[in-house]
C-alpha cells in the first residue's frame, strides 16, 4: 500500500469517481465519516473499503475471474482496472479482450490500464442472467460477435491481472440505520425494509445524473 504506484492509482480512482459520480462519492464519504466517528476507522483505498487484487500464484501465467453476481455489494459503483506486468510475460496487445452480454447488445473492450466503472450490484437486482456475461477475444479491431470471437482460455493473456475496488453492503448498514447491525436496528424498532422502487430510483439518480460544471469552458 505504500508503493507510489498504488497511491497514484487510488488517488486517480478517487478523483474519477468524484468527477463522474459526485453523488456516490458524497455518500461514500458520509458513510466513512460515520464509521470514523463511531469506530475510529477509515477506508484504506480512497473512497473504498475493499480492494481485491487478482494476481497469479507461482508457476501461473495469468488469472481470470468467472462471471458472478456481487450480492453483498451495495448499489453503487465498482471499479475494475486491468494491469500488466512486464517481468518475463508475453501479453499479446494485438488481441482485444471484451466483456460482452450478447442478448443486451453490450460489448466493452478492456485494454490494460483503462478504468472501467460499473454498478455490479445492479446485474443481480435487475435480473440479468450473469451466465450470459462472457469474456471473449477478437483478432484485430473488429467488434465482437458470436461468430468472430472466442472465449478467453487459460494462457491466452500472460501477465494480465486486475484491481477491483468496491464497498460491501455491511459498511452501509450502520450509517443507514444508526446501529451496528440490521439485527440491532430491528430490535430497536427500526424498519430495515426498503422500498424497492425508491432504492432503484436513488441508485439511478446517484449513478447517472452528472454534476454540472461550475464555470464555462
Q: Is residue 93 part of a domain?
A: yes
> Looking at the 3D structure of the chain, how many domains does it have?
1
Residue at 214 is within a domain: no
User: How many beta carbons lie within 10 A of that of residue 120, not counting itself?
Assistant: 21
Domain holding 79, by residue range, is 4-208
Q: Within a domain: residue 215?
A: no
Q: Is 186 within the bounds of a domain?
A: yes
- Residue 162 maps to a domain: yes
> C-alpha grid cell for residue 136?
471473449
Sheet containing 78-84: which strands, arranged edge to edge? 50-54, 160-166, 78-84, 115-118
For the chain, give the percent of residues with pLDDT over 70: 63
pLDDT in tens, 141-161: 777 777 777 766 655 556 677
Please indicate, yes or no, if residue 217 is contained in any of the structural domains: no
Residue 138 included in any domain: yes
* For range 190-209, the mean pLDDT: 68
Q: Could you tell me if residue 183 is inside a domain?
A: yes
Amino acid at each position: 500500500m505504500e508503493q507510489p504506484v498504488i497511491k497514484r492509482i487510488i488517488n486517480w480512482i478517487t478523483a474519477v469517481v468524484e468527477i463522474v459520480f459526485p453523488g456516490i462519492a458524497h455518500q461514500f464519504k458520509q458513510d466513512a465519516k460515520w464509521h470514523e466517528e463511531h469506530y475510529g476507522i477509515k477506508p484504506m483505498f480512497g473512497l473504498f473499503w475493499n480492494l481485491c487484487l487478482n494476481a497469479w500464484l507461482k508457476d501461473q501465467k495469468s488469472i481470470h475471474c468467472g462471471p458472478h453476481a456481487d450480492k453483498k455489494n451495495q448499489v453503487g459503483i465498482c471499479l475494475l482496472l486491468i494491469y500488466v506486468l512486464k517481468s518475463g510475460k508475453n501479453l499479446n496487445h494485438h488481441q482485444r479482450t471484451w466483456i460482452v452480454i450478447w442478448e443486451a447488445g453490450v460489448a466493452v473492450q478492456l485494454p490494460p490500464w483503462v478504468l472501467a466503472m460499473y454498478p455490479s450490484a445492479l446485474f443481480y437486482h435487475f435480473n440479468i442472467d450473469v451466465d450470459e456475461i462472457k469474456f471473449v477475444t477478437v483478432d484485430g479491431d473488429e467488434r465482437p460477435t458470436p461468430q468472430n470471437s472466442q472465449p478467453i482460455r487459460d494462457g491466452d493473456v500472460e501477465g494480465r491481472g486486475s484491481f477491483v475496488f468496491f464497498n460491501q453492503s455491511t459498511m452501509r448498514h450502520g450509517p443507514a440505520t444508526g446501529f451496528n447491525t440490521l439485527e440491532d436496528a430491528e430490535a430497536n424498532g427500526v424498519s430495515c425494509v426498503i422500498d424497492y422502487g425508491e432504492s432503484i430510483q436513488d441508485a439511478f439518480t446517484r449513478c447517472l445524473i452528472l454534476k454540472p460544471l461550475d464555470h464555462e469552458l
